[in-house]
Structure 1
């Protein structure tokens, strides 16, 4: 999978070096490319609104991070649960009409979630960095900034709003950017969750130094179809030594305890669940039902 960039935003959105460039006036090839092109415009506006040096200072001055990786690794009832605060998605539209990010996050925490994922993309998921900040002020669980990261500015911005971890998507980043962004995340005492979907992406990520946490997205980001077998297929490709070197997160398509048991048997130590929980009338109870093992 190749996600192209638009050259006119190279000055702001990190760099176009190493990325395929779309021809002027050419439409995006898929929804992920559409998102990334919009994200380039968004990042350019962020630079225009507030200098990078100011945002860096805000990030450095932010309160200490919570241990996202440790919370997953030491979960008392594995697999650990990263519960997602998400209002909408491009494929499903609005997931919860009465959307209160703080109330949802608190219900997740009461239900027994180990960490939270906060959607910050506004255009396609109706999220915001303001939601991230509000949740940070309301709950003690470690927080993942769930964003389409293409530039260091976004990493600093996430940290300044309370993020303890940041998502990096292999499909949209070169190996150089993956490595450099992860290094920056670590410098800020955060955790990097690097997400893959294909065998090729997994092979790339396994070559990057200092990776600890890998997410397998069961959702195809080109067409948004979901198949839990993606976790099974990629985990089966690993040698026992490679498997044990990393903590593995299965993402998307987990709706019940049977699904959770399946990805755990495949080798996942944690799961990221959003849609199936956010749509429930009683979120706290839904978390408990998902995470409490059958007798």
Structure 2
């Protein structure tokens, strides 16, 4: 009888492995004590939830240079300028990709955006350690992304609680029914349903409609991936989303009014 084959690494496995390698370099350079000391110079965290719970749809607009699924998306020499356009268009928060290898981002991007806008800023990365959350707050982030798929067992609750201790609002991302149940159980106030399967990179726009009813109405539901215009926002708002997270469609926007008007067109949509 042949031995069972080991599972093949997924796209997500490869990304997290690279993230941990890069993290080890930063940890060897900047101690946790140094990060904690830096917190004294950071403004208090901004709370995005009043905006997200307000009337009409809210947009988390993303600074995103490239992705594993689409490759190069946009040349963004000045993330602060792009973020300022998003804020002027009414974005409820700005998401900044800080993963370098696959997305071309950095914590320097986040710092530049934080210095340029008054709206809350989200660190979007593959966060699997407390150190990364401390990095996020020290760089001025108000929110941090946690993904249930990469945080098995008790790690999800541990990192969620630690983020809250730091004053960070958690955007807890889910992809299936089991992850959704775990997100609800840990008490996440902001739950994102990603239509993109991070193990295969395939997109299924029906995922939000399937998972949203499993999320209590006192939580804020966020639709992620596959959003390219107001018609997509209308669909997800109709299925229960209060917030949409949009990246590719905004960084590639070159039409009338650019990213500012694109955000404005997706904001304020009601059922």
TM-score in terms of structure 2 length: 0.92
- 1:212 alignment partner, one of 189, 192, 215: 189
Counterpart position of 2:230: 257
Following the alignment from structure 1 to structure 2, what is the Cα–Cα distance between the partners of residues 265 and 175? 33
SS in 2 for 1:243: coil
Q: CA deviation at 1:203?
A: 1.6
Matched-pair contact (CA < 8 Å) for 2:220–2:241: yes
Counterpart position of 2:252: 279
Following the alignment from structure 1 to structure 2, what is the Cα–Cα distance between the partners of residues 71 and 189? 17
**Could you list the per-position Cα deviations for residues 245-293 of structure 1 after superposition, in whole angstroms to 9, with x for gaps in the alignment?**
3111011111111110111111111110110111011111222233364
SS in 2 for 1:264: helix
Matched-pair contact (CA < 8 Å) for 1:231–1:263: yes
Counterpart position of 1:84: 62
Aligned positions of 1:55-94 closer than 5 A: 55-74=35-54, 76=55, 78-94=56-72
Counterpart position of 1:39: 19
Q: CA deviation at 1:80?
A: 1.0
Following the alignment from structure 1 to structure 2, what is the Cα–Cα distance between the partners of residues 123 and 83? 21
RMSD value over aligned CA atoms? 1.9
Number of matched residues?
A: 263
Counterpart position of 2:32: 52
Counterpart position of 1:6: none
- 2:206 alignment partner, one of 229, 240, 248: 229
- Structure 1 residue runs without a partner (length 5+): 1-22
Following the alignment from structure 2 to structure 1, what is the Cα–Cα distance between the partners of residues 40 and 224? 30
Counterpart position of 2:217: 244
Q: CA deviation at 1:56?
A: 2.0
Following the alignment from structure 2 to structure 1, what is the Cα–Cα distance between the partners of residues 9 and 108? 31
SS in 1 for 2:62: strand
Matched-pair contact (CA < 8 Å) for 2:237–2:269: no
Following the alignment from structure 2 to structure 1, what is the Cα–Cα distance between the partners of residues 208 and 77? 30
Matched-pair contact (CA < 8 Å) for 2:66–2:72: yes
Counterpart position of 1:121: 99
Large movers: runs of 4+ above 3 Å: none
Q: Does 1:97 align with 2:75?
A: yes
Following the alignment from structure 2 to structure 1, what is the Cα–Cα distance between the partners of residues 200 and 262? 28
Following the alignment from structure 1 to structure 2, what is the Cα–Cα distance between the partners of residues 60 and 80? 31
**Could you list the per-position Cα deviations for residues 79-124 of structure 1 after superposition, in whole angstroms to 9, with x for gaps in the alignment?**
1110111111111111112442111101101111111111000111
**Could you list the per-position Cα deviations for residues 216-257 of structure 1 after superposition, in whole angstroms to 9, with x for gaps in the alignment?**
001111121212210001124x2xxx5213111011111111
TM-score in terms of structure 1 length: 0.84
Following the alignment from structure 2 to structure 1, what is the Cα–Cα distance between the partners of residues 18 and 12? 10
SS in 1 for 2:216: helix
Matched-pair contact (CA < 8 Å) for 1:85–1:119: yes
Matched-pair contact (CA < 8 Å) for 1:214–1:249: yes
Q: CA deviation at 1:169?
A: 0.4
Matched-pair contact (CA < 8 Å) for 2:57–2:269: no
Q: CA deviation at 1:28?
A: 6.2
Q: CA deviation at 1:199?
A: 0.9
**Could you list the per-position Cα deviations for residues 126-176 of structure 1 after superposition, in whole angstroms to 9, with x for gaps in the alignment?**
011000000100000101100100111111111111100000000000231
SS in 1 for 2:154: helix
